[in-house]
A = this chain, B = another copy of it.
C-alpha cells in the first residue's frame, strides 16, 4: 500500500510538469482499477491525453472501469478505429452497460465502429429487460463438450482462457448447445487424466433463465456460494454466464434500491453527485406530495377536536411526542420485517408468528414508554390526573397499533405483489400518525369529558 502511495505521488509530480508520456508509462505500474480511479480524478483534457497513450490491450480494461462521464467523453473524441479496438476488447456485459448509458448519437458511433458479429451480439443483449439475468450476463465463457477427455478439456481451456470471463467454472453442453453439466477447473486439475467429462461433470447444474429477475439470481448465488452461474434460454441452451464479481455489484445496487425505497425515494440510476438537481427533485416529489396529502387528511380529522384543544391547549403539546414515537415504533417493525423478507428469513406464511411476536415486543416497549411518561407527567403536572392518564394510555395504545401495522403492512404488500420496501417508515408513519391522534383525542374526550 505504501508503494502505491509513492507511485501516486510520482504521478502527480509528472502531471504538474505535464510530462504526460512518462506519466502514461508509469501508470502501467498500476492495475486497471487504480488507473481508472486515477484518471477519473483528472480534468477531461488530461483524461483524453493520457487515455490515448495507454497500450491497446490495457485501454479496454481501464475504459470499462471508468465513470460514464469519462466514457462518454472518450467515445466522443476518439477515432472509429480506436473505438473499434476498445469495443472489440470489452467484455460483452461491460459494452452493453456502457451503451445503455450513452446518448443516442454516441450509441450509433459505437455500433458502427464494432464488427458485424459484435454488433449482432450487442443488439441481442440490448433486448433483455433491465434487471433481468440476460441484461447482466456476458457471452465470454468456456463451453466444453461432454465427450471431451480431461486433457482435451484442459487444452481447450488454455486456448480460450484469454477471451473468457472465468475459466474456473466451465459448462458442458451437448450437440444442441443444451446445458448438461458443470465442471470446475479444480475438478479437472485434481482428477485422473483418463476420465472423460461425462463422468467427471456434475449434472445437477444450477442455472438462471434469461428473463429471471437479478434479485432472484443474487439470492441463488448467495445460497449456493457460486462463483459463476450459467444463463439459459427457454430451450435450456446456454446463452451466457454471470460471474460473482458482477453479482456483487447487483447486490450492492439492490441494497441501495431497497434503502432508497424505504426512505420514500424513487430509485436513482446514477451516483448522487452525477445526478442533476432536477432528477433528484423528481425522484422525491411524488412521495413527498403523496404523504403530504395523506397527512392533510390526518389534519382534517383533527378539526373535529378543535374544541378540545381550545379548552385544554396542553393536550396539543403532546402531539409531536405521540406521532413521533408511533412513527419510530412502526418503522422499526416494518424495517425488520422487510429486511427479513428480502434475505429470506421471513415468509408471508409467517405473518401470525410475526404479529404475535410484535404484539409482545410492543407490550414490553409500551409499558416502558408509558411508564416513563407517567413518572415525568406526575412530577411536571401533579394533580392533572386525567390528562396524565390520557397521555399514558394513548402512548401504550399507539405502540401496539404502530408495531402491528408496521409488521403486517409489508407482508400484505408482498401478498398482493407490491414491493414491501415502499411500505416502510414514511408510509407507515403517516398511517400511524393518523390512528394515534384519533386514539389520543378520543381517549381525551372520554377521560376529560370534553
The chain A residues found within 8 Å of chain B, CB to CB, are 3, 29, 31, 33, 37, 154, 157-158, 161-162, 167-168, 185-186, 189-190, 204, 221-227, 244-245, 247-249, 251-252, 255-256, 258-260, 262-265, 268, 271-273, 277-278, 280-281, 284-285, 287-289, 291-293, 295-296, 298-300, 302-303, 306-307, 309-310, 313-314, 316-321, 323-325, 327-329, 331-332, 334-337, 339-340, 343, 345-346, 350, 353-354, 357, 360-361, 364-365, 368-369, 372-373, 376, 424-426, 429-430, 433-434, 437
Contact = CB atoms under 8 A, between A and B. Distances in A.
A33 B343 contact: no
Q: From DSSP, what is the main secondary structure of chain A's interface residues?
A: helix
Contact of A288 (B248, B291, B365, B429): B365
Contact of A272 (B310, B317, B346): B346
B260 A336 contact: yes
Among A154, A317, A340, the most chain B Cβ lie within 10 Å of the Cβ of A317
A132 B444 CA distance: 53
A273 B346 contact: yes
23 contacts: A33-B223, A33-B225, A157-B189, A222-B249, A225-B245, A225-B248, A259-B335, A262-B263, A263-B334, A264-B328, A264-B331, A272-B346, A281-B361, A284-B332, A291-B325, A295-B325, A299-B321, A306-B316, A306-B317, A307-B313, A320-B437, A324-B430, A327-B327
Contacts of A332: 263-265, 284, 287-288
Contacts of A280: 336, 357, 361
Contact of A310 (B292, B313, B324, B361): B313
Contact of A256 (B221, B264, B320, B339): B339
Contact of A317 (B221, B303, B343): B303
B186 A167 contact: yes
